[in-house]
Amino acid sequence: MRQAYYNGFIYTGKEILKHLAVLMDGYEVLDIVPESAIPEGFQRIDVQGNHIAPGLIDLQIYGGNGQLFSLYPDVSTILATEQYCKAGGALYFQPTIATNEPGLMQKALEAYRQYRDRGGKAAIGVHWEGPFINPQKRGAHVEKYIRPLQKDEAKQLTEHQDALRTLTLAPECCDAACVEILLQAGIRVSAGHSAASYEQARQAFTKTGIRLTTHLFNAMSPLQTRDPGLVGAIFEDPAVYASIIADGIHVHPANIRISKAIMGNRLFLITDAVEESKNEPYIYLRQKDRYVNQEGVLAGSTLTMLKAVAYCVQQVGIALDEALRMASWYPAKAMGMDQQAGLLQPGYHSGLIVFDDNFELLYRSV
């Protein structure tokens, strides 16, 4: 049934509107009209003064509802993660698999194809975080599975561009020609888990063409007095996007605020959320508001995308409309989806969420 959402603050992604209604058909935005002009045949949903926004987009999440993609890369895990994402306001997401043995990482791609072939639309493709990363910046990744990217494997990966949407790698550990093969095939390469020097990072951005970076500040070479590192190169390059984990644990709120002031619409939110696991190779133990591995290394968050938006508003001091863009339009732009998602605009398939002043989800597109 087509629905009309009215009597709320409408955050289109470009402006804030009142006294209007958003007309939806599933995920499709049909129109935004005066409340008095809601057509017949629409289910009228009075949101009672709450907030209406585009569906959020999570480009890095490892699982949800008790399932972990790095251990069980199958359709059931994608579906469980989808339900977790939607309950937290994210209507599109990238199931993410951490550095693993080759067969399991390939299985993740097959699982996505099966999900898609069965009609799944919320998952937009798989994010491989690794295995082509720097062991010095592995974080909670399993070292024995880390390996360099060879040219033959890069060519083989181009055959999976329908499923492999994003690949995080350390540019200093990969030949530029291999990275270019991936980029030319339409796979989005993201620099992360990297100890790249400033010069190496600049080369990767300006010469090789990398335009994405993974969880700013975490597992990357920092900004220092005599080496700006990967962080400095990200700040400086106006074409490079960066994700960030806004939970107060992964990154200090002042660093989020400083980064936002420098990067503007190039900074977007992810959850980096995992699930508790007692099984090798990825043992994740929950400690209140975070997950750690068996060695106590920070391994993931307990975030939802709506919680990340709330943190940015309440703790970082970012305006609500801008925090929502960081969770919708900006990740859409980073993925080349900004002509179809991330905005409440007629013709977009962004979906819609409604939440209250406490950032509790009230309604979402189905």
> Which residue ranges make up the annotated binding site for Zn(2+)?
129, 193, 215
The tokens describing 131, both together, are 């295995």
Residue 216 token pair: 């700013």
Strands laid side by side in the 164-169 sheet:
56-61, 90-98, 126-129, 164-169, 188-191, 212-213, 241-245, 267-270
Please give the annotated binding residues, written as ranges. 129, 140, 193, 215, 218-219, 226, 250, 298-300
User: Do 53 and 67 contact (CB within 8 A), yes or no?
Assistant: no
Please give the annotated binding residues for substrate, written as ranges: 140, 218-219, 226, 250, 298-300
Q: Which residue among 237, 247, 272, 338 is the active-site one? A: 272
The two structure tokens encoding residue 311: 């943190």
**Cβ-proximal residues to 322 (8 Å cutoff; 6+ apart), any chain:** none
Three-class DSSP category at 216: coil
* Tokens describing residue 150: 């060879």
The number of C-alpha atoms within 13 Å of 180 and in the hemisphere containing its C-beta is 8
Q: Which residue has the tokens 């993931």?
A: 300
- Our answer to whether residue 74 is catalytic in this structure is no
The angle subtended at Cα 36 by Cα 31 and Cα 40, nearest 5°, is 70
Phi first, then psi: what are they for 321, rounded to 5°? -65, -35
Instruction: Classify residue 99 by its DSSP letter.
Output: S
Residue 165 per-residue DSSP state:
E
Task: Give the up-direction half-sphere exposure of residue 320: CA atoms within 13 A in the CB hemisphere.
Answer: 18
Query: What pairs with residue 92 in β-bridges?
Result: 57
Catalytic residues: 272
